[in-house]
Structure 1
Amino acid sequence: MNKTVVSVSFALLLSTVHIVICQDSEWGTNDYIEYQVGTTGTKIILTSSHGGHLRPESIPERDHGCFIADVCVYSHFCSPKDELNCRAVVIPDAHTLELTGTIADAMQNITGQRPHVILNHLHRGKLDANREIEQAAFGVPEAETAWREFHEFIERAQATVGTGLLVDIHGHGHPEPWLEIGYLFSGLDLDLNDIDPARSSIYHLSTQVNVPFDDLLRGAESLGGRCEAAGYIAVPAPDYPGPDGGNYFTGGYITRRHGSRDQGTIDAIQIESPRFLRDMWEDYGSDLAVIILNFYQRWYT
């Protein structure tokens, strides 16, 4: 894929000085959840929930839930299992932990500030931290503790940041080669131009800038627009304002809970990357760092 260089106004990007990457990590119970505390003054939070590798035998493998009285019940002891209505995804988002770390390192090299980073090191078959606790942990206390610690670390970072941007890093397995940038709008919403800012995970940002919301969502200076300028295909963005009926993830539990749709002054955006880009996470992650920083500098400073 041919890429053009994104122009940024960060003078440090042009410097040949290499900053020594250092981080202050706090760990949850059993070292399942890691919180890399950001540099004082940073306003960016990165999260990764589906790239973990740990598979302790003390936590049973998640399976599908049961559809009982028109409600999904997620338990290892319910029966019969219903994959159609109550599916539990256990396939990890490969290389998203590495990708998230690369983004954080590159941001620190560029700006001198390291973002807050929250990582789930449990395999998705043990915990899905991007779901409600019932579906995430299947009632297993050890997994529930990790789930709570993951979201508590995010809330601690949010309290420190005050006003800023959370970027949730994921990977998709769709045939489309694009980045799926989630703001809580469905693909159909984007295709039909049904984009009320109050329903988005960047609602707070929309109240702070005097531009049409469409510019924030898929204009040239949107996150998708920045991706296009760097040579990537993204949805939503100027060239692809919607998926046009194609596959697209809208944003998940992290984006809903920790974004600004319902409350707060921290916006959240989910980035779903195709596998071939995640496989070259070092180069791609460095590009994403510049893209996110450009977006942040344009709208948050």
Structure 2
Amino acid sequence: MKKISFLISVLGLMLFLSSCFKNKGSEFDEPDYVEPDIAYDKAVFTKGATVLYKIDGENALEFRVGDLKSPVILSSPHDGIFEPAGVDDRDHPDGEIVRDIYATPLVVRVADTLEKRTGMRPHIIINQISRKKLDPNRSRDESYLTSYKMLDAYVQYHQYIKIARQIVKDNIGKGLYIDMHGHGHDKDRIEVGYMLAIADLNDTLTNKYLDLKAGKSSIYGIAKTSDYTFSDLVRGDVAFGTLLANELLPAVPSNRVGNKGPAADNYFNGGYCTLAYGSIAGGNISAIQLETDWKHARKDTYDADLKAFPQQFGGGGIARAIIKYFRLHFGMDMEK
């Protein structure tokens, strides 16, 4: 009898440990919280509407409402050039002011391709204000704003993202938020950010550290219900970076040799919006930051190597990767 009890105890322990080491049971995971709903005027935020936030009569922020059945949200926080009068520059030493040139046209290209292939235009949030005055991809404490006028704009930008997420929650229940940026690093590749530490991404031999970090990522909502290991989701054959690479857009992390992790290279792992509006804390809307390179995605003139215009080349490739990602990880076939 003692032997049977011992075997039952061992079996129970094995089942417990197996659940602990699955994606949805990492050492950092916590129970989902109930995400509060965001109230918004459904008569204003209608399909195809462009909701504007103006400063001094100029368009400062835009929320281009997509198809109400679209599960995709895109944003461009750092490509603005509008400098409102009477607003001092952000001059804190930790306040980055470099513009992500042509990130917004890239977002539009992605949206155009998604609409063409799926019949649904995604939701788009655009900051038209110069980063010298406003950086909405930071926490309020680290945004180093110099006026209440910019504080109001900061709050409104985040409200637009919250409303977009609420629209997706109300109509589909799950979705993906992609925050679009541009980098000037040496390597021409897209840096895919999930809020993961570089040290964990560089564990390319065993994945033992990375596989425990699902609950610390902005795609936890995907990972906790996935049959794939978390390392597969980050740099396996089904990873977003790999789907980009399949579209001839080099990306890190992905399954490609030399791009499984950033190694000692510069790499952006995600910013405040990816942290705040992904699924780290729970929920079914995940987030990815894309730091796009100039050559493959944002350059505005014809590229002889690509034999294409990069914004069209990159926007189309990113859109096709999104469609495949939804098919693999959301069980949604978006193509019409």
What TM-score does the superposition give when structure 2 sets the normalisation length? 0.74
Structure 1 residue 282, shift from structure 2 partner: 2.3
Question: For residue 47 of structure 1, what is the aligned residue in structure 2?
Answer: 75
Checking the alignment, whether the CA contact within 8 Å between 2:95 and 2:144 is kept in structure 1 is: no
d(CA) in 1 for partners of 2:282, 2:86: 37
Give, in angstroms, the shift of residue 139 of structure 1.
4.2
Runs of 4+ residues deviating >4 angstroms: none
- Aligned AA for 1:96? A
Match of 2:196 in 1: 185
Query: Which residues in structure 2 correspond to 1:34-73 (within 5 Å)?
Result: 34-64=62-92
Cα pair 2:48 2:64 within 8 Å, conserved: yes
Structure showing greater radius of gyration is 2
Change (3 A) 1:237 1:60: same
Which residue pairs with 2:249 in the alignment? Answer: 232
Partner of 2:311: 281
- Of residues 48, 53, 59 in structure 2, which corresponds to 1:28? 53
The answer on whether the counterparts of 1:137 and 1:144 sit within 8 Å (CA) in structure 2 is no
Q: Tell me if structure 2 keeps the 8 A contact 1:51–1:97.
A: yes
Aligned to 1:133: 140
Measured after TM superposition, the shift of residue 263 of structure 1 is 2.8
Match of 1:3 in 2: none
Alpha-carbon displacement from aligned partner over 1:96-143 (angstroms, at most 9, x marks no partner):
011111111111111100111111110111100101123325241111
Partners of 1:47 and 1:137 in 2: how far apart? 21
Q: Which moved more, 1:223-232 or 1:137-146?
A: 137-146
In 2: Cα distance, 1:154 partner to 1:62 partner: 23
Q: Secondary structure of 1:122's match? A: coil
Q: How does 1:85-164 map to 2 (within 5 A)?
A: 87-162=94-169, 163-164=174-175
Q: Contact between 1:29 and 1:145, CA under 8 Å: does it hold in 2?
A: no
Which residue is 1:210 aligned to?
227
Q: Is the 8 A contact 1:171 1:273 kept in 2?
A: yes
1:291 matches 2:321 = yes
CA offset at residue 182 of structure 1? 0.2
* Contact 1:137–1:143 (CA under 8 A) maintained in structure 2: no
> CA separation in 1, counterparts of 2:168 and 2:192?
22
For the 8 Å contact 1:209–1:299, the answer to whether it is kept is yes
CA deviation digits over 1:53-109, x for unaligned, max 9? 111222211112xxxxxxxxxxxxxxxxxx3xxx21101000001111111111111
Q: In structure 2, what is the equivalent of residue 263 of structure 1?
A: 282
CA deviation after TM superposition for structure 1 residue 212, in Å:
1.0
Q: Do the aligned partners of 1:186 and 1:249 also contact (CA within 8 Å) in 2?
A: no
CA distance in 2, matches of 1:32, 1:136: 17
- Per-residue CA shift, 1:246-287, capped at 9, x if unaligned? 111010000000000023221000000112231131222122
Aligned equivalents of 2:230 and 2:216: distance in 1? Answer: 12
Q: Secondary structure of 1:138's match?
A: coil
Q: Distance in 1 between matches of 2:77 and 2:166?
A: 20
Amino acid at match of 1:63: D
Which of 163, 182, 188 is the matching residue for 1:171?
182
Instruction: State the number of aligned residues.
Output: 259
Q: Deviations over 1:227-250 (max 9, x none)?
A: 111122111100121011111101
**Counterpart Cα distance in 2 of 1:91 and 1:266:** 29
Aligned partner of residue 255 in structure 2, secondary structure: coil
> Could you tell me which amino acid in structure 2 is paired with residue 217 of structure 1?
V
- RMSD, aligned CA: 1.4
Q: What is the alpha-carbon distance in structure 2 between the residues aligned to residue 133 and residue 142 of structure 1?
A: 14
Structure 2 residue runs of 5 or longer lacking an equivalent are: 1-46, 300-309
- What amino acid is the match of 2:294? R
SS in 2 for 1:53: coil
What is the percentage of aligned positions where both structures have the same residue?
32
Task: Work out whether residues 82 and 128 of structure 2, in 8 Å CA contact, stay in contact via their aligned partners in 1.
Answer: yes
With structure 1 as the length reference, what TM-score do the two structures score?
Answer: 0.83
Letter in 2 for 1:170: H
Looking at structure 1, the residues matched to 190 and 317 of structure 2 have their Cα atoms a distance apart, in angstroms, of 13
Counterpart AA for 2:53: G
